[in-house]
A and B are shown apart, each in its own frame.
Chain A
């Protein structure tokens, strides 16, 4: 994306106008994405096993409980099925998008995804473990263990990568994450091979879905994601500096170790909460981070918000698609993200739209 300021020698004045232009365009883009998200959310409330008209959705959301049998039914569908589902898709989509953009920024690696710090395998391992140990059967019971597993894995990876003088070197972080992730994945497999109940839960868990979770899970998840987002926003200017190299960043006054720690906590909160509620949908973060980088360039102050909104839009749209394609059944959102998103992403890659992080 060559701006006017880059392509020809310009006076300071024209350069400043160009920069303002770019900023305005990016802000408009964010607004458009937000509008798309709102529209998708509206569609998401209406589409499903029982299709609802706009008026019915409105009633379902706002009408006072009455004696009318049909309206009560609609209220029930909208408020206990569609709204939680839509909300979780948005929250998890934002979390995975922002998490994906951040992990690529912090590790300076364009193939890093939100599973890199062991978050996904930590959550999976926790799930099979509590199923075997405590005999939990429903996702409501193991969501928090999944979150704990994800957080613990993230903490262990960061702790191990921060020992000694190499402190938090991005490559060490990424490789330590991979090491811990495969170790946990192996343990998960070992448990699942031995215990059929665990294997059964694991296969549904692995598909990745935003359905079937109530507000009792969604509110806490949203709270964790909100904390993660606040932390993420505070680090964005620093990520830009870190991408110039540790030495340069240090010279410009960045506390490298602290900012890495904050970043890892943010990524773990975001990815961990989203993964605990939906299962592993790691490809989403990788994909939207690249698309956002294509739109905004490498400035993380813009890249990360774009990635977040894109993540929400993509996850929500994929969930809607999953509800209608294999009626009367449903395709899990995680499966649709890969089936729809990956070919689209591959086409963009082939056309040379992306550059390295």
Chain B
């Protein structure tokens, strides 16, 4: 085939040493745009509050050239919350993108891998059971940490229950759904038998919120998710050919069992980090990859863009919840209230244009 008179539909490849990737201008542009939007919203979120700070001052302070007063308000008071939103959003977005890619199912999300269900069951148990042991646990390690332990425990349980000569996406998801159903049943039963005041407290935890984050909590979440994202970035290269099927991947020299196992473990841990920092924020992990896919016009969820969409959604929802609504709502309610309709809008728009998807 003569390349000069046939317009190639294959985008050009780029090779850097041992790495090679395809040059996709649209994907890069969308990713850069999302990154810029995330940064903008991040600064905006820091600036809005009882003591409003202009955008230029916020940016200056973040880069260490601001005034003393601003620096105190921003770095000590508002940064933890904004950073928590960013970290949780990215973690959920990336985790969702991995889960959906590995399971090859757009309805999959780390929520059904057991983390959310396990964390919720433990948290509700600790809130509703007014026994000595439960109170001791809460005062010793804190509700979030105990819930995180429950979530990670359940997530790893799902992971090992699904292990049978390697990890298979379909098996993992079905077992995750089963374990989550058990956890949800336990939660429902605890709520039915509990005192109504405890139920209200438990419900507030179950929604997911960014209120009252301390620097310490956020730092832990930040470093954990950075490390995990680094692992994901390394594993993402051999993961690429796996969407053509295990046989093709094996033929290209990918050890697909190992890559899949590592990626899914990262997805579980990332979702755990998110739960520890904000509680079980629903839906971000499901919607972010789907939105990123449609914005970037890719057939599979792009990892970086998914993380950025997750962050945008979470920070944006937090901003709306604090600044635009007459009543205070936890961020989890607002992410679902914004994310759900936005996903539907993207679907309807694609339908109106008659483009096939998925």
A residues with a Cβ closer than 8 A to B are 109-112, 116, 160-161, 163-167, 169, 171-172, 174-176, 178-183, 185-187, 189-190, 192-194, 196, 199-200, 203-204, 206-208, 283, 286-287, 290, 331-332, 334-339, 341-343, 345-346, 349-350, 352, 354, 356
Contact = CB atoms under 8 A, between A and B. Distances in A.
22 contacts: A111-B174, A164-B352, A169-B358, A172-B347, A178-B107, A179-B341, A179-B342, A183-B341, A186-B335, A189-B333, A193-B200, A193-B203, A193-B207, A193-B329, A193-B333, A194-B327, A199-B200, A207-B192, A335-B189, A337-B185, A349-B175, A352-B164
Tell me the interface secondary structure of chain B in the complex. Answer: helix
B284 to A, nearest CB: 10
B289 to A, nearest CB: 11
Contacts of B228: none
A203 B182 contact: no
B290 interface: yes
B220 to A, nearest CB: 27
Given A200-B199, A352-B171, 16 more contacts: A109-B105, A111-B107, A164-B354, A166-B351, A172-B357, A175-B347, A178-B107, A185-B336, A193-B207, A193-B329, A196-B200, A335-B185, A338-B185, A339-B186, A343-B182, A350-B161
Name the interface size band of chain B. 35 or more
B106 interface: yes
Contact of A166 (B162, B174, B350): B350
B196 A196 contact: yes
Interface in B79-121: 105-108, 112
Interface string B175-200: 10111011011101101100010011
B334 interface: yes
B331 to A, nearest CB: 11
The 9 A-B pairs with the shortest beta carbon distances in the complex, nearest first, are A183-B340, A338-B185, A186-B336, A165-B354, A166-B351, A164-B351, A342-B178, A164-B352, A346-B178
A276 B156 CA distance: 35
Contacts of B282: 182, 185-186
A73 B80 CA distance: 65
A330 to B, nearest CB: 10
A199 B199 CA distance: 8
Most buried by A among B332, B347, B355: B347
Contacts of A290: 174
A179 B340 contact: yes
Contacts of B32: none
A160 B347 contact: yes
A180 B342 CA distance: 10
B170 A356 contact: yes
Contacts of B327: 194
